[in-house]
Structure 1
Amino acid sequence: MKTESVKTLMGYVAGLIFGLGLAVSGMTDPARVIGFLDLAGAWDPTLMFVLGGAVVTNFIGYRLVLRRPNPLFGEHFQLPTRTDLDARLIGGAALFGIGWGLSGYCPGPAFASIGGLSGPLLAMLVTMVIGWFLARAIPTRG
């Protein structure tokens, strides 16, 4: 099997595992996110435990994987090199957080929930795609 085909297959498998994890943990339900943000009401701590589990898993996984000289299906690791904060990053993070808080969806759970497409989910997906195109129109620092 060609290297590109294997990389594509592994990307699909990773996405499938991620989506399955979202479904099993209940994170495809926007009410969980809204419940987590409702500190004065019926607060739901589930999201905190899912995020905590993801942080611990990622922390350990990165340390194990980066001991290797290169990835299994690539020539070199592609790690971010920028460390500065700019208006695009801060603005994008703020918009992401606002959208997540208003809709209860972030991109992963939104795509994992497409099977049960509803009006609010469709609105979130459409505005997310519009945001991708608008972000490309904003000039970047060279």
Structure 2
Amino acid sequence: MSAIVTLITGILFGLGLAFSEMTNPAVVIGFLGIFGNWNPSLLIVMASAIAVGMLGYIIKNKQIKPLLSNKWQVPSLRHIDSKLIIGSVLFGIGWGLSGYCPGPGLTALINNPAEGFYFISALIIGSGLHYFQARSGLK
């Protein structure tokens, strides 16, 4: 049952990305470029995402445990640290320069294979570097 719910959730997420044109880097860059030809259409996408997230927390607070798991899996970290700030800055720079974040980047492998390949390759290399840096204990 969990796999079916995960599949349905993934399909809904993908349809939402496609319908909102989050898979089109030109639309994303148009939204992020507030000093040029700004395209505010993605405000609806962000507002919808916030609403869904809030709904999730309302449901979590009303139920003792989730329907398909033994416990809620909510991040326990409650403070802002340098890793969060650096990661957020790097994510924002990458998103602003390329117009892709991980979900739409995967769709680019089909929609725009050349850009998708470079984006996903950089994503894998960056994730690998972080993994090995974290395992080695380097700061």
- TM-score, structure 2 length as denominator? 0.88
Please state how far the C-alpha of 1:85 moved relative to its aligned partner.
2.3
Q: Is the 8 A contact 2:30 2:39 kept in 1?
A: yes
Give the counterpart of 1:16 among 6, 11, 34: 11
Q: Is the 8 A contact 2:108 2:115 kept in 1?
A: no
1:27 aligns with 2:33: no
Aligned-residue CA RMSD in angstroms? 1.7
Higher RCO structure (Cα 8 Å, ≥6 apart): 1
Distance 1:70 1:47 in 2: 33
1:122 aligns with 2:114: no
Q: 1:112 to 1:120 in 2, by over 3 A?
A: closer
Equivalent residue, structure 2, for 1:82: 77
AA aligned to 1:50 is V
Q: State the aligned residue count.
A: 136
Identity %: 38
Unmatched runs of 5 consecutive residues or more in structure 1 = 1-5
Runs in 1 of length 4+ with deviation above 6 angstroms?
Answer: none
Distance 2:108 2:68 in 1: 29
Higher mean Cα deviation, 59-68 or 13-22? Answer: 59-68
1:99 aligns with 2:94: yes
Equivalent residue, structure 2, for 1:3: none
Q: Report 1:53-64 matches (<5 A).
A: 53-64=48-59
Please state how far the C-alpha of 1:83 moved relative to its aligned partner.
1.2
Equivalent residue, structure 2, for 1:39: 34
Equivalent residue, structure 2, for 1:113: 108
AA aligned to 1:51 is M
Q: Is the 8 A contact 2:105 2:120 kept in 1?
A: yes
